[in-house]
Amino acid sequence: PPAGLESRASRAKGARKEKEGGKTGKVEPKGAAAFASAGVVKGMAGQARVLQGQAELPLAERREVRAGATLGEILRERFGFSGFRPYQEAVCRAVTEGQDVLLVMPTGAGKSLCYQLPGIARRGTTLVVSPLIALMEDQVGKLRAQGFAAERIHSGRDRLSSRAACAEYLAGRLDFLFIAPERLRVPGFPEMLAKRKPTLVAVDEAHCISHWGHDFRPEYRMLGQRLPSLRPAPVVALTATATPMVQDDIARELGLSEASRFIHGFRRTNIGIEVVELSPAARVEAVRKLLEPKERRPAIVYAPTRKHAEETAKELSELGAAAYHAGMETGTRDRIQSAFLGGELEVVVATIAFGMGVDKPNVRTVVHMALPGSVEAYYQEIGRAGRDGLPSRAIMMHSFTDRRTHEFFFERDYPDPALLSALFGALGSRPQTKEALSPRVESDPEKFEKVLEKLWISGGAIIDADGGIRRGREDFLGEYVAQRKHKQEDLAKMARYAEGHGCRMLHLVRHFGDQEDDGRPCGVCDVCAPDACVGRKFREPSRAETAAIQKILDALAEEDGQPMGRLHRETFGDALDRRSFEHLVNGLVRAGLCEVRSDSFQKGGEWIEFQRVSLTEEGQTHGGEAPTRFVTLDEEPKKKARGKAKGKSRGSSKAFWAWKARQKKGG
């Protein structure tokens, strides 16, 4: 946001904290210079990967590409790849020819090459806007290791280093300059960039510019105002998570109305997705059993809160686990991240603060210990599994109680519209300070900051460079209410995904509008291949359960679309408890014989939600023979009494314990 609009964490720690509880982290931790290191190993598809903890490579001397070289020749000679991955060549060709491009491809599909190769082919400096310090450091380190002249400017760099990078840019000695979007509001910085036009502008994580996206960042809104001064360079906007609605918003905000759109490759054929309904109390033990086999590690376990991350990591320490979240000291986070990338740490139990900018090809399992906040965030997080192309699993644990956590964070992050109206009413044409406004609107400093931020984003407030706040446009409220509703719909879509009975991967592919996917089921998720599950277990129904299943089918055949409660009550009465009944219904849903959809009615001025159960087309034609293998075991894993066994190193990594010993010694 503009000067003067900063969060409580900014004032306290000098860096904005990552949002948690279903929101994607805002800024990677500082101190990420370890990413720009000298040691290189070969990873996925032969791509060079830079290890942490070593000396930073010096800035390479810029070299022009060979005259007349084709894109394929530049790919081989300068980047060391034998060929393009799917869809890369068409994108690179369009950008090289000077077209504006909007590229939406999944994490790990090779988006970075789609600006790096055209940038080199166009013979000049490519300006890359990225919101993540760790990602910038990682990219600069890799590019330098490949012999390219790459620099970066962000808040983690000292002033002298940033000035040196600016001088190299103005002298035309850089192939790539990475900048954080906040730099665009530093007086004189945009003018400096415009003095020497870049050959290409790449906007990474472009979904951050859209307030309809899952990771909106206000500072990205400035890009649309600054891009005209950098033209005629073409602009390529890249993201791994953008629905058609977000794609349109990106194009509108960046002025890319004529941009070519490439929306490809969302299907991850090597990731088997499983969704397990499980009470919160049973999840830690379930994760332990899941990750005990060595072949299911390395693993990333996403916890809903910092407290959950710490407690779970403690319970899983025998597996070589450590917690990671935004509340930790920067140095601690960096050591954990470095140990995980280096193989000393096998399991990271983290909030959503972890993962952005972390490229580890051999992650075998990603576990979500609670319902994620949006389908977009979920897809991005599971995409960190299996980047080496080998079989991997993504397991989501959830229950209805998870929604309460999301409701808490929603109320925190999206204040009541009445508070925005109150702040708007307190503003005038003359600038006022936050200190003067807060007592008149909201006394809690953190809550006031959030109200001000949302009012500014919606256009109801104007914040001057010196922090003065004055009234903006009067029609701000409609946009804010729409944003609020959209965020609620994001969670509802995620809940529907968790409760769905179709192919998990196909649902994600359709959600993002992949233009060329063939629409086939994945064949490896819990719906397509129950026998392949590692987090879910299935058994055949007993004779009594088979009879109960048939009664449900018969009742729905007589009257389809019954409310869940009435179907249970009128079919079984007290003969079958509600929980057992719902397990049978879930089994029918998983077998594709029934579907459950949400409905609501109004009573006493309040809307009451309930669920309706209906037969699918297959269920309507079912010939009376109940399916035999679909019912999940309803016994939840029992918590073990850990006692003295807690300290055992069963299944642990020697490297992990050596690393832990070094941490205790301060090493």
How do residues 170-196 score in pLDDT, each as one tens digit? 999 999 999 988 888 888 898 999 999
For 460: left if phi > 0, alpha if psi spans -120 to 50, otherwise beta; the answer is: alpha
Q: What is the pLDDT of residue 186?
A: 84
Q: How far apart are CA 657 and CA 317, in angstroms?
A: 10
- DSSP, collapsed to helix, strand or coil, labels residue 515 as coil
- DSSP, collapsed to helix, strand or coil, labels residue 349 as strand
Q: Which domains does the chain have, with CATH numbers?
A: 31-263 (3.40.50.300), 271-401+497-528 (3.40.50.300), 414-486 (1.10.10.10), 538-632 (1.10.10.10)
Q: What is the pLDDT of residue 169?
A: 94
Q: What is the pLDDT of residue 25?
A: 35
Alpha helices by DSSP H, listed for 384-499, are 402-413, 417-426, 434-441, 445-457, 476-499
> Is residue 21 very low, low, confident or very high in pLDDT (cuts 50, 70, 90)?
very low
pLDDT at residue 20 is higher than 50:
no
pLDDT at residue 7 is higher than 70:
no
Residues 448-458 pLDDT 10s? 999 998 998 88
The model's pTM: 0.71
pLDDT at residue 398 is higher than 90:
yes
Q: What would the mean pLDDT of 210-216 be, rounded to a whole number?
A: 71
pLDDT at residue 652 is higher than 70:
no
Alpha-carbon separation of residue 482 from 316, 440, 458, 488, 621 (angstroms): 42, 26, 10, 10, 42
* CB distance 176 to 148 below 8 Å: yes
Angle at 308 between CA 313 and CA 275, to 5 degrees: 90
> Is residue 44 very low, low, confident or very high in pLDDT (cuts 50, 70, 90)?
very low
Across the chain, what does the average pLDDT equal? 81
Q: What is the pLDDT of residue 37?
A: 27
Q: What is the pLDDT of residue 131?
A: 84
Residues 413-448 pLDDT 10s? 899 999 999 999 999 999 999 888 988 888 788 889
Q: What is the pLDDT of residue 302?
A: 96
Q: Which tokens belong to 64?
A: 């022009």
Q: What would the mean pLDDT of 23-51 be, rounded to a whole number?
A: 29
Q: How far apart are CA 595 and CA 619, in angstroms?
A: 9
Q: Which tokens belong to 658?
A: 């050596």
Q: What would the mean pLDDT of 505-524 be, rounded to a whole number?
A: 85
> Is residue 588 very low, low, confident or very high in pLDDT (cuts 50, 70, 90)?
confident
pLDDT at residue 50 is higher than 50:
no
Q: What is the pLDDT of residue 6?
A: 35
Q: What is the pLDDT of residue 656?
A: 56
Q: How far apart are CA 246 and CA 488, in angstroms?
A: 16
Q: What is the pLDDT of residue 423?
A: 93
Q: What is the pLDDT of residue 329?
A: 87
Q: What is the pLDDT of residue 661?
A: 59
pLDDT at residue 54 is higher than 50:
no
pLDDT at residue 254 is higher than 50:
yes
pLDDT at residue 508 is higher than 80:
yes
pLDDT at residue 544 is higher than 60:
yes
> Is residue 526 very low, low, confident or very high in pLDDT (cuts 50, 70, 90)?
confident
Alpha-carbon separation of residue 350 from 25, 29, 303 (angstroms): 11, 14, 6
pLDDT at residue 24 is higher than 60:
no
**What percent of the chain clears pLDDT 90, i.e. is strictly above it?**
37
Q: What is the pLDDT of residue 28?
A: 33
pLDDT at residue 628 is higher than 60:
no
